[in-house]
């Protein structure tokens, strides 16, 4: 930038002592913007410090918004992880054959399914005999009962009648202390059982597992002898997976009747063989239900992998997640409005200052940047605090519910990033209003 024709060379201005000349070139360097930017930061931090209460309240708006979003996202991620882990414990090598699918979507389906024939022990035996791709085949039926020992009782215990003992392997549970029943015991209808570790706690006051073996418990009034204790599996969503009693299927039939539909579990050695085994089992079951390939109407049985449930889980919850995150995001929008409001107040209050700065040579861009930086500083700090409190909130909630906390850097960066964008958006209009103030009128303000 030239600096006024011939006058450049002449010494002008005050000249007490040594005069420092200002080379014209200095002023056009990119450094120029840098100096103004530094001033903007200085002014922003000064103004935020000068109005501590106001800054705190503004921060609060952003903190609440960001921490809500962070907490929700973190909890959702933890939930997903837990669900995925839980269902993969049985793994993608297991599928089931049952009368009704695990999820019934409508009344019409319910009516259709209730017309189906029960899945019986004979079906399981046929599968076991005819399916060459199948590795392990077992049957299981569930009931829920109150279990008692002496004066202690445990409610809501899952009673699982299984046959043969390979069902323990298919279920992914293993014996901690004691033993599983023998084949002879299993088919004889003996009142013997293997209990989950929760019952140790509830019925035996947390006594060591070997103390429980050989003891008697009462399930639905019938006495059972404990022959083994399972290793703990942990809980999901606060529901323990260890609150279970395994009994032989023959014994289960004695108590609950023979004519109840059961679930056939089929396991293949590797996930690659799953599809082949499913095809074989489907053919076998169609034959047994008197149907041919491609026939219209109901198949007469349900063949499912655990993926079915997982897929349904994710499709059902993804919409809930979007809504939940949306609701949390609204508080961020409210936070943004708070920032805009405060910035408008700040601009009005500092009209005189803006006038002084403009008179001295601040350009529109300088004023705009100054107020934008102020807005973004508040929201970025608010965002950072929000990320921390959000994770804290998620930590507390996940500790209460009992699933892992997944702290991701991505969501932290996202939290600060989004809040900064909120700052820019909500600061833009007030900053623009400040930038286009007329210096003469602004100077007149008090």
Partner 1 sequence: MSDITFAPSVTEKIFAQEDTNSRRHDSLALISMRNIWKTYQMGAEEVHALHGVSFDVHKGEYIAIIGPSGSGKSTLMNLIGCLDTPSQGEYWLNGKNVSEMDDDELARIRNQEVGFVFQTFNLLARATALHNVELPLIYGGVGSAQRHEMAKQALRSVDLEDRVTHRPNELSGGQRQRVAIARALVNHPSILLADEPTGALDTHTSCEIMDLFERLHAEGNTIIVVTHEPDIARRAHRILSIRDGLIEKDEKTK
| Of 401 and 443, CB closest to partner 1 | 443
Residue 53 lies near partner 1 (rule: CB under 8 A): no
Residue 9 lies near partner 1 (rule: CB under 8 A): no
Residue 204's nearest CA partner among 146, 147, 145, 152 is 152
Chain residues 88-147 in contact with partner 1, contact rule CB under 8 A: none
Residue 439 lies near partner 1 (rule: CB under 8 A): yes
| Of 245 and 431, CB closest to partner 1 | 431
Residue 77 lies near partner 1 (rule: CB under 8 A): no
SS3 state at 243: coil
Q: Does residue 191 contact residue 224 with C-beta atoms inside 8 Å?
A: yes
Residue 445 lies near partner 1 (rule: CB under 8 A): no
Residue 366 lies near partner 1 (rule: CB under 8 A): yes
Q: Helices H, strands E: what count in the chain?
A: 15, 12
Of 163, 164, 363, 369, which one interacts with partner 1 (CB under 8 A)?
Answer: 363
Other CB atoms within 10 Å distance of the CB of residue 263: 19
Total site size for partner 1, rule CB under 8 A: 50
Of 261, 364, 402, 421, which one interacts with partner 1 (CB under 8 A)?
Answer: 364
In whole angstroms, the minimum distance from the beta carbon of 431 to partner 1 comes to 15
Ramachandran angles phi, psi of 233, nearest 5°: -110, -20
- In Å, the largest CA–CA distance within the chain is 117
As a whole number of angstroms, the distance between CA 132 and CA 266 comes to 12
Of 146, 365, 396, 413, which one interacts with partner 1 (CB under 8 A)?
Answer: 365
Report the Cα–Cα distance between both ends of the chain, in Å, rounded: 35
265: its two tokens: 């579990």
Residue 141's nearest CA partner among 159, 118, 166 is 159
| Of 231 and 438, CB closest to partner 1 | 438
Residue 80 lies near partner 1 (rule: CB under 8 A): no
Residue 1 lies near partner 1 (rule: CB under 8 A): yes
Residue 85 CA to its chain's centroid (Å): 12
In whole angstroms, the minimum distance from the beta carbon of 53 to partner 1 comes to 17
What is the chain's percent helix, strand, coil content, to nearest 5?
60, 15, 25
Residue 22 lies near partner 1 (rule: CB under 8 A): yes
Region of 5-13, 67-75, 101-109, 178-186 interacting with partner 1 (CB under 8 A) = 5-13
Region of 163-171, 340-348, 364-372, 416-424 interacting with partner 1 (CB under 8 A) = 364-372
Binding mask 320-359 for partner 1 (x = CB under 8 A): --------------------------------xx-xxxxx
In whole angstroms, the minimum distance from the beta carbon of 435 to partner 1 comes to 9
Residue 46 lies near partner 1 (rule: CB under 8 A): yes
Of 231, 275, 307, 438, which one interacts with partner 1 (CB under 8 A)?
Answer: 438
Transcribe 334-401 into DSSP letters.
HHHHHHHHHHHHHHHHTHHHHHHHHHHT--HHHHHHHHHHHHHHHHHHHHHHHHHHHHHHHHHHHHHH
Residue 64's nearest CA partner among 376, 382, 380 is 382
| Of 41 and 321, CB closest to partner 1 | 41
Other CB atoms within 10 Å distance of the CB of residue 238: 9
Residues forming contacts to partner 1 in the complex (CB under 8 A) are 1, 3-7, 10-18, 20, 22, 26-29, 31-36, 38-39, 46, 50, 352-353, 355-366, 438-441, 443
């Amino acid at each position: 930038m030239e600096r006024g024709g011939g006058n450049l060379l002449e010494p002008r201005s005050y000249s007490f002592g040594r005069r420092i000349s200002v080379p014209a070139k200095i002023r056009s360097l990119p450094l120029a913007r840098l100096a103004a930017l530094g001033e903007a930061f200085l002014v922003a931090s000064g103004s935020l410090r000068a109005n501590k209460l106001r800054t705190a309240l503004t921060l609060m708006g952003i903190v609440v918004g960001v921490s809500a979003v962070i907490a929700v996202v973190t909890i959702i991620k933890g939930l997903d992880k837990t669900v995925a882990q839980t269902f993969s414990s049985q793994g993608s090598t297991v599928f089931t054959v049952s009368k009704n699918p695990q999820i019934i979507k409508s009344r019409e389906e319910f009516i259709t399914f209730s017309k189906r024939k029960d899945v019986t022990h004979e079906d399981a035996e046929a599968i076991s005999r005819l399916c060459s791709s199948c590795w392990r085949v077992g049957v299981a039926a569930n009931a829920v009962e109150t279990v008692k020992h002496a004066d202690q009782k445990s409610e809501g215990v899952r009673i699982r009648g299984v046959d043969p003992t390979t069902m323990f392997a298919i279920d992914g549970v293993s014996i901690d202390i004691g033993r599983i029943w023998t084949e002879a015991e299993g088919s004889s209808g003996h009142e013997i059982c293997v209990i989950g570790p929760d019952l140790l706690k509830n019925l035996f006051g947390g006594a060591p597992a070997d103390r429980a073996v050989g003891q008697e418990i009462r399930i639905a009034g019938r006495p059972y002898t404990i022959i083994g204790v399972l290793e703990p599996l942990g809980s999901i969503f606060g529901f323990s997976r260890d609150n279970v009693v395994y009994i032989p299927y023959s014994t289960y039939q004695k108590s609950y009747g023979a004519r109840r539909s059961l679930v056939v579990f089929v396991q293949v050695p590797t996930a690659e063989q799953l599809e082949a085994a499913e095809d074989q089992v489907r053919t076998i079951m169609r034959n047994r239900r008197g149907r041919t390939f491609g026939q219209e109407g109901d198949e007469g049985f349900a063949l499912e992998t655990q993926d079915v449930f997982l897929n349904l889980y994710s499709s059902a919850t993804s919409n809930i997640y979007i809504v939940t995150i949306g609701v949390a995001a609204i508080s961020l929008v409210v936070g943004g409005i708070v920032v805009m409001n405060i910035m408008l107040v700040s601009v009005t209050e500092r009209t005189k200052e803006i006038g002084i700065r403009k008179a001295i040579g601040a350009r529109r861009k300088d004023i705009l940047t100054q107020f934008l930086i102020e807005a973004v500083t508040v929201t970025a700090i608010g965002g950072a605090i929000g990320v921390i409190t959000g994770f804290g909130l998620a930590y507390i909630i996940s500790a209460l519910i009992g699933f892992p906390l997944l702290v991701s850097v991505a969501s932290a960066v996202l939290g600060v990033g989004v809040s900064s964008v909120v700052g820019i958006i909500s600061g833009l209009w007030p900053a623009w209003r400040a930038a286009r103030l007329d210096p003469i009128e602004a100077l007149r303000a008090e």
